[in-house]
Amino acid sequence: MEKFYQIWKKFGKNFEEGGKLAKFSSFYDAFDTFLFTPQTTAKRNGTHIHDGRDSKRTMILVVLALVPAMLFGMFNVGYQHLDATGQLAEGLSCALFWKAFGFGFLAVLPYILVAYIVGLGIEFIVAQIKHEEVAEGFLVTGFIIPLIVPINTPLWQVAIAVAFAVIFAKEVFGGTGYNIFNVALIARAFLFFAYPSHMTGDSAFIRTGGTWGWDGGQALVDGFSGATPLTQLSTGGEVHQSFMDMANGLIPGSVGETCLWAILLGAALLLMTGVASWKTMLAVFAGGAVTALLFNAFGSESNPVAQYPWYMHLVSGGFAFGAVFMATDPVTSARTECGKWIYGFLIGLVAVVVRVLNPGYPEGMMLAILLMNAFAPLIDWCVVQANINRRAKRAKA
């Protein structure tokens, strides 16, 4: 490894100022800081914290936390396919397990590749134009986007959504660390409003013969995306899945959002490493539970979503995934300690309110997080101002 490092650094001299490849310095820097811990340290006198963890290593920890949800999502895609084609009539054998995972792996992998190729391609181009380092934020964003879209979404639509999100939700604000809204959620929002037929999950939209179309019971089903429990509930249907069914995740839904246990495993890693705030996570679940309980007590009995048990809301749709991986985004969430409680609670509240009062949009979590992204700076300002006022009163006393 040491020999490779020396060769790599010698090659890097070509990208330094005056070198043959100096105009591509941002490309080299991106790979250099990804593969190795940067050797640069603070130069000024004074007290500084020296730590090997930089933003890229923090992003890699988040990606590792997302891996369980991704792996289960791949299996679930294949499981739904086998279930739709009647191959699970006699149960899930070891052979069918690997068949399901293999099918899901091949189905999800193109989405990951498209997200990274398009998103990182734009990041590299912008870095070259601005003569800056390549931002590391898309390491996580490019991993999340394939996990929050249904598997029936055409790849060209995903590519357009990624390009839109990176350019208009990130780069126009100045790049990583300056964006107001969660970039992955902007990509999902773009898909939801531009191509709603693929995002609502209210039908069995399948791929046959290499093109997307409706299955009339005759064609071979290559991919399957059925109605989610929340969609069934919002249209007056019944949800037949139990709490454990929903937590186990073998249900239709976006790729990485269905299995509670996989999401909680990722949450444990984020909390143990200090990457995410437990206050924000807990507040989101608390806000959703309290709001659902209020609707259970005072909501219309004719509205099935209002009478949906509070604990079912927490495991339905993208609630848990959003609470763990997107509400805790350090760039777009509240940063004050008290503000994290308020910010998280309001996300849970708004998500359930949208689910209950807007049957046309049964999910709610995406809108709740994006809305609170906009209010996060105001929440922090109010918290700081309240602290200043309290201290001013104590000083006068």
* pLDDT for residue 1 is more than 70: no
One domain for residues 234 and 323: no
263, part of any domain: no
One domain for residues 305 and 238: no
Tokens of 390: 């309290």
One domain for residues 223 and 280: no
104, part of any domain: yes
> Residue 297: phi, psi to the nearest 5?
-85, -40
47, part of any domain: no
* pLDDT for residue 300 is more than 70: yes
Mean pLDDT comparison of 12-26, 128-142, 247-261, highest-scoring range: 247-261
Q: pLDDT tens-digit profile of 304-327?
A: 889 999 999 999 989 999 999 999
Q: pLDDT tens-digit profile of 167-198?
A: 999 988 888 788 999 999 999 999 999 888 76
Q: How far, in Å, CA of 225 to CA of 38, rounded?
A: 44
The pLDDT assigned to 343 comes to: 98
What pTM was computed for the model?
A: 0.84
Q: How far, in Å, CA of 319 to CA of 190, rounded?
A: 19
Q: How far, in Å, CA of 238 to CA of 258, rounded?
A: 18
97, part of any domain: yes
* pLDDT for residue 208 is more than 60: no
Mean pLDDT comparison of 10-24, 199-213, 326-340, highest-scoring range: 326-340
Residues 21-30, mean pLDDT to the nearest whole number: 61
42, part of any domain: no
The pLDDT assigned to 9 comes to: 64
Q: How far, in Å, CA of 128 to CA of 110, rounded?
A: 27
* pLDDT for residue 379 is more than 50: yes
2, part of any domain: no
If phi > 0 it is left, if psi is from -120 to 50 it is alpha, else beta; for residue 249 that is left
253, part of any domain: no
Domain hosting 173: range is 12-37+57-245
* pLDDT for residue 268 is more than 70: yes
Handedness of CA 196, 115, 344, 340 (dihedral sign): negative
133, part of any domain: yes
Instruction: Using the 3D structure, point to which of 245, 267, 302 is the last residue of a domain.
Output: 245
Q: pLDDT tens-digit profile of 42-85?
A: 555 555 555 555 677 788 899 999 999 999 999 999 999 999 88
